[in-house]
Structure 1
Amino acid sequence: MWKIPRRFSLTDPLGDVETWSESVDKVLSCKAGQIAFREFLKSEYSEENILFWLACEEYKKIKTVPEMISSANRIYSEFVQTEAPRQINIDCGTRENITKNISQPSLTSFDTAQKLIYSLMARDCYPRFLKSDIYQGLLRRTDSR
């Protein structure tokens, strides 16, 4: 049985838990949902998917070119390049395209890969998450309040 991590305090906005079953967007749009989904993905050895998706979300908010270059290189070396420590599962064409353009990154450099990872999470991981002990436990916990 999965234990609710201490990171979930009773003051966290767990009232949203019921809405998480509506769409993967509902899960990804709140901090508690991200934490729960990440815990689930970690249990399936695919935590890199949400970490990459979140890194891309932060990347899109960057305002300066030096910061963009630095962040793009970090995302590339952590998630995209072959043999990266948290290599994401994307097709070789997308990987090659990012590799080819990494020396001159733009705010859209990772969009294609992010969309692929999002759809993988939405159609593959998310349905299992809803059936998981993690989600079911949080659902029971909010029901018992």
Structure 2
Amino acid sequence: MLAPVDDVTAWGESLDQLLQCKTGQLVFEDFLRTEYSEENLLFWLACEGYKKIAGETELTVAAKRIYTEFVQVDAPRQINIDCVTREEISENISQPGPNCFDGAQRVIYGLMENDCYPRFLKSEIYQALLEQAEKR
């Protein structure tokens, strides 16, 4: 996978830069999969999509899908959030608002930023891309 030099370099500047780039998201997801923690990124991306939904019915359907896949205890891709945050979402899931997942999304972003992202920057995946980019 060839990414533009500027992109690959920018990914090293901040997690935001990485997440703003579609290719960056894919590379980061590949890395997270090697650590068995891709659910963090997938949840974060699902929340970003969720915030763009306008209709109430669609919002409810999407909220339930996110809840079932990532939030509820024993979810197939259960994210690592505190029980208070999990409980808050559980209470609001029947009438989800557009900010229903904001707290959990912040927690997961923090986890990625402080934990996964620094490891990603040191990973062979990222280092190899950086090397390729610098050769061009």
TM-score by length of 1: 0.91
Mark the runs of 5 or more structure 1 residues left unpaired by the alignment. Answer: 1-7
Mark the runs of 5 or more structure 2 residues left unpaired by the alignment. Answer: none
**Which position in structure 2 is the counterpart of 1:142?**
133
**Which position in structure 1 is the counterpart of 2:118?**
127
Q: Does 1:69 align with 2:60?
A: yes
- Report the Cα distance in structure 2 between the residues aligned to 1:68 and 1:14, rounded to whole angstroms: 38
- Report the Cα distance in structure 1 between the residues aligned to 2:42 and 2:79, rounded to whole angstroms: 10
**Which position in structure 1 is the counterpart of 2:35?**
44
Q: CA RMSD in A?
A: 0.9
Does the 8 Å contact 1:14/1:142 carry over to 2?
Answer: yes
Identity %: 61
Q: Does 1:29 align with 2:20?
A: yes
**Between structures 1 and 2, the one with greater helix share:** 2
Aligned to 2:103, which of 112, 125, 140? 112
Q: How many residues align?
A: 136
> After the TM superposition, which parts of structure 1 deviate over 3 Å for at least 4 consecutive aligned residues?
12-15
Cα shift at 1:108: 0.3
TM-score by length of 2: 0.97
